[in-house]
Structure 1
Amino acid sequence: MTMDIRLARVDSRLLHGQVATFWTHAVRPNRIMVVSDTVAKDNLRKTLITQVAPPGVRANVVTVNKMIRAYFDSRFDSFNTLLLTENVGDMVRLAEGGIDFSKIGINIGSVAYADGMTMVTEAIAMNPEIAKQVRILTQDFHLNVYAQKVPAEKKIEMTGLLEKKNF
């Protein structure tokens, strides 16, 4: 048996109000796993993230490799997890490490804009590298990758959004 991942979400803001309020209510996790090699090394960001977890839900910040090990470790089978990464590349690494997202797919909540990127939704910016990572998830791992900011919104398939913007 493995840990129960109830939502796998890419959100450049990681754990914030929408996630802490709407998503935790919708998926009912007992654990939020923020997966980021960068944040795991930043004690201030780690502390802030663990402090904003909603009541009754513990938050942990771990590296990509540590998350892969925990996923296959039976000591963590009781975790009903909301998994967050700040970029699509980390989701690809988790999938490559054997984490099974086939039942839930990958939710893209927000990808922050930077120079040279194109907005594909009001909250998701893309460039060719990120579009390639989305295609790895959809084509190589056969995952449903979709945009959805909050649970009440309709899911929008990312491949269609990429095609509309010529990615």
Structure 2
Amino acid sequence: MIILVRADDRLIHGMVAVSWTSAIKPETILVANDEAAGDSFKAATMKLAKPAGVKLIIKTKDDSIKALNNPINDRKKIFLVTETVEDACYIWERVKGIAKLNIGTAGVNKKPGEEYIPTLPQVFMTQKEFTCAKKMADAGVEVFAQITPSQDRMNFKEIEKIFAK
């Protein structure tokens, strides 16, 4: 069972490892990222940052989809972390049971040539990411921007207002 999906371009770091895992108490953190799955140094760094008592798995997006669709994982509390909202949407389209998308510090590591629109401090989205988030929200997924569980939360209606300007 996926308890939360977080789009965060830094993947596993202090906020994810400490704040979010403390708040949602997953058994497993699944990082769905093609680059990280193929980079042993990046994977080792993330494993050092993970909290004790929580299993960390790093897979490609497609291998993550296979794992999430395996009935053996239905009863596990899984915290899914993707680099972008687009990646989260790609997985959502192929996996049932995703109910919440947290747009975290996505957009901190901006890609050249992309226009990023701020929603909250440290939370930026591209038009493509907004379109993906809207698709998910329109289908009933709870989409929100929030840096940590103790900080202000922006619901999707508020995000939508920013993009309507």
CA RMSD of aligned residues (A): 1.7
Which of 83, 92, 101 is the equivalent residue of 1:106?
101
Match of residue 122 from structure 1: 121
Which of 136, 140, 143 is the equivalent residue of 1:142?
140
Output aligned runs, 1:59-78, within 5 Å. Answer: 59-78=56-75
Q: Secondary structure at the match of 1:110?
A: coil
Q: Size of the alignment, in residue pairs?
A: 161
Matched, 1:10 2:11: no
Structure 2 letter corresponding to 1:118: I
Extract unaligned runs of 5+ from structure 2: none
Structure 1 letter corresponding to 2:102: N
Structure-1 separation of matches of 2:117 and 2:26: 33
Offset, 1:165: 4.1
Offset, 1:90: 0.9
Match of residue 164 from structure 1: 162
TM-score, length basis structure 2:
0.88
Q: Secondary structure at the match of 2:164?
A: coil
Extract unaligned runs of 5+ from structure 1: none
Q: Secondary structure at the match of 2:89?
A: helix
Structure 1 letter corresponding to 2:150: A
Structure-2 separation of matches of 1:133 and 1:65: 18
Distance 1:160 1:47, change over 3 A: same
User: Aligned residues: percent identity?
Assistant: 25
TM-score, length basis structure 1:
0.87
